[in-house]
Amino acid sequence: MSVITIERKVLEKNDEIARENRALFADHGVFAINMVSSPGAGKTSILERTLERLRETLRIAVIEGDVQTDLDARRVAKYNVPAVQIITRGGCHLEANLVRDALANLDLKECDLLVIENVGNLVCPSNYDLGEAVKVVVASTTEGDDKPLKYPAMFRNASVLIVNKIDLLPYVNCNIGDLKANALKINPSLTIFETSCTNAQGIKEWCGWLEKRAKK
């Protein structure tokens, strides 16, 4: 019981800091997204394609969350956008206080869009609000079409689903219709994009949505 109590306190404290982050983003007119997925679904690759396309029209900053290494922040830094790496050292998700600390290294006055890339984990990050405007879940076709049913919390709490690696459909055991139907069964209000970072399919549509939301 004590564990549950303390976990609840941790979540309450997290939600409190998330509200502060959210207020800070609102004050500065920053549109913040929290990208979540399994490891290797393609969050960083989608981010790279997004930076290529939008960095001239939007001022973008990035917070990278990883269990270990700064490999992702280095990939992002090549696009000349401000990037902060959070290394959780074993932690399975980002929390609002880690994002708050990272914000100390970013100038929100010079930012329209903040992309927070969470730790690759389809379970734990679903419980932790970071103060983002929307949670974007990335699911790869290579993971199969049953994942929304097996990991429902993440799909329930997201506003956007990006089905990535759409170019691999001919080679994998994934029915795209079933995948989307399963996702919509869990969360009927999901906005869905289908993308490939290899052939750029769907990147224009995703970036169009993002630009529109960030310029509101």
Output 11 or 24, the one with its CB closest to a second copy: 11
**Residue whose entry in the numeric block shows the structure tokens 């800091």:** 17
78 binds a second copy (CB under 8 A): no
SS (H, E, C) 202-213: CHHHHHHHHHHH
Output 21 or 140, the one with its CB closest to a second copy: 140
Strands (E), the chain: 31-37, 60-66, 83-87, 113-117, 134-140, 160-164, 191-194
Output 9 or 212, the one with its CB closest to a second copy: 9
CB of residue 198 to a second copy, shortest distance in Å: 8
**Whole-number Å distance between alpha carbons of 42 and 120:** 10
Among 71, 176, 181, 200, binds a second copy (CB under 8 A): 71
The window from 46-54, 65-73, 102-110, 202-210 that contacts a second copy (CB under 8 A) reads 65-73
**Whole-number Å distance between alpha carbons of 84 and 72:** 10
**Whole-number Å distance between alpha carbons of 197 and 41:** 11
**Whole-number Å distance between alpha carbons of 83 and 74:** 8
| Interaction mask 132-161, a second copy, x per CB under 8 A | --------x-xxx-xx-xxxxx--------
In the complex, which residues of this chain contact a second copy (CB under 8 A)? 2-3, 6, 10, 38-41, 45, 66-69, 71, 90, 92, 119-124, 140, 142-144, 146-147, 149-153, 165, 167-168, 171-173, 198
